[in-house]
Amino acid sequence: MKLGILVSALALCAGVASAAAEDVTIGMIEPMTGPSASTGKQAKAGAELYIALHGATVAGKTIKLEIKDDTGAADVTKRLAQELVANDHAAALIGFGLTPLALAAAPIATEAKVPEIVTSAATAVITEKSPFIVRTSFTLPQASAPMAEWAVKNGIKKVVTIVTDYGPGLDAEKWFGETFKKAGGEIVQAIRVPLKNPDFAPFIQRVADDKPDAVFVFVPSGFGAIFMKQFAERGLAEAGIKLIGTGDVTDDDQLADIGDPALGAVTAHHYSAAHDSPENKEFVAAFEKANGFRPNFMAVGAYDGMALVYHALEATKGATDGPALLAAMKGAKWTSPRGPVEIDPDTRDIVQNVYIRKVEKKDGQLFNVEFATVPMVKDPFKASKK
C-alpha cells in the first residue's frame, strides 16, 4: 500500500515535470498602475494579441505569458526580473515601460543570460547596458533626427524644444537640436519639464514670448493630452506657432482625449494606427475587437516583442537556452504592422521606417496620417560612434 502511494506520487511528479518542461515562461514587466499605466495596458494587449492570433504553441512548447506590474518603480522592476528568472525560470523578459525600468533589469539579464526584450522604453543607450538586451520599440534619436530634417525642408527656422527631463527627453532634445542646427535652423530655447507631476503651463508661456516658428516636443506616452491641452489654452496655435515632435505626444491612445487641438500637429514616428498596409489593417481590427480601444506604438512594440520570441524559439527548435535565443534574435527580419523591421545584429536595436505624419480627421476620428517615409532608419546614436 505504502509502495503504491510512493509509486503514484513519483508518477505524478514525473507528470508534472514533463508538463512543466513543455511550458516556456515569458516574463512581462510593465507599469500596469501609476502614471504610465496606459503603456502597460497597451503592451499587455499587444503581447496577448500576438499569442491569440498565432496560437500559444511554438516549436512544441507552450508559451505562458506571466504579466507583472512594477507600478513604474525601478526597484520593483529589478525584484520582479530577479523572481521571474530565479523562480519561474523565464526564458525571456519582455516589456519595460520607461527607461529607468529597462535599465534596472539589465544586470539581471546579463547575470542570468536571459534576453531582455525592450518593447517600450526608448533612450538610445539602453541596449548598451547589457549584451542580452534586444529592442522592438524605437530610439528617440531615430525619430527626432528625421523630424529635424523635415522641419528645415519645410520652412521652419526657429524652434523652441520642450522635453520631459530624463533619458528619452534628453535624447530627443539633443538629436532634434543638433540635426536642426546642422541643417541651418536655430534653437531659441531648450526647455526641460520634470517627469513627475508635470505642469507645462508656465513653460508654454515662455515659448509664446520667443515667437518661434514651431515648438518641438517630447513627452512620454500617456502625457500628451496634458501637454496638448495647455498648448491649446495658451493660444500658441492661433499665434501661428506650429507643433512638431516625436509621435509620443500624439499617441494613438490619447488622440481622442486630446481632440481637435491636435489637428495639424506634425510628428515623426515608427507607428500609426492609420498605417496603410494589409498587416496593419488586420492587426488594428483584431486588436480593437479584443480590447475595445485603439492600439498605439506601445502595443505594436509588445506585439513585435512576442514575434521575436516566436521567431527565436522556432530557430532553436524550442530550446530555451538564453544565448541561443539571443543569437537567433540578432538579424531577425519580419513584416510588422508598422512596416518592414529588422534587428541590427551589432546593436540589437530595431531598424525600421520612420514616418512623417500629420493629425487629421478621418470619418470623425483623429489619426496620425503618414505622408512621408524615411526608410529603414538605424539608431543614429550608435551609428555616430562608429
Q: Can you give the binding site for ligand DHB, defined by CB under 6 A?
A: 39, 98-99, 121-123, 167-168, 220-221, 248
CB of residue 247 vs ligand DHB: minimum separation in angstroms? 8
CB of residue 98 vs ligand DHB: minimum separation in angstroms? 4
CB of residue 149 vs ligand DHB: minimum separation in angstroms? 20
CB of residue 248 vs ligand DHB: minimum separation in angstroms? 4
3-state secondary structure the chain: CHHHHHHHHHHHHHHHHHHHHHEEEEEEEECCCCCCHHHHHHHHHHHHHHHHHHCCEECCEEEEEEEEECCCCHHHHHHHHHHHHHCCCCCEEEECCCHHHHHHHHHHHHHHCCCEEECCCCCHHHHHCCCCEEECCCCHHHHHHHHHHHHHHCCCCEEEEEEECCHHHHHHHHHHHHHHHHCCCEEEEEEEECCCCCCCHHHHHHHHHHCCCEEEEECCCCCHHHHHHHHHHCCCCCCCCEEEEECCCCCCCCHHHHCHHHCCCEEEECCCCCCCCHHHHHHHHHHHHHHCCCCCHHHHHHHHHHHHHHHHHHHCCCCCCHHHHHHHHCCCEEEECCEEEEECCCCCCEEEEEEEEEEEEECCEEEEEEEEEEEEECCHHHHHCC
Between residues 51 and 121, which has the closer beta carbon with respect to ligand DHB?
A: 121
Between residues 213 and 251, which has the closer beta carbon with respect to ligand DHB?
A: 251
Between residues 51 and 122, which has the closer beta carbon with respect to ligand DHB?
A: 122
Between residues 96 and 203, which has the closer beta carbon with respect to ligand DHB?
A: 96
CB of residue 250 vs ligand DHB: minimum separation in angstroms? 11
CB of residue 252 vs ligand DHB: minimum separation in angstroms? 12
Between residues 25 and 42, which has the closer beta carbon with respect to ligand DHB?
A: 42
Between residues 161 and 320, which has the closer beta carbon with respect to ligand DHB?
A: 161
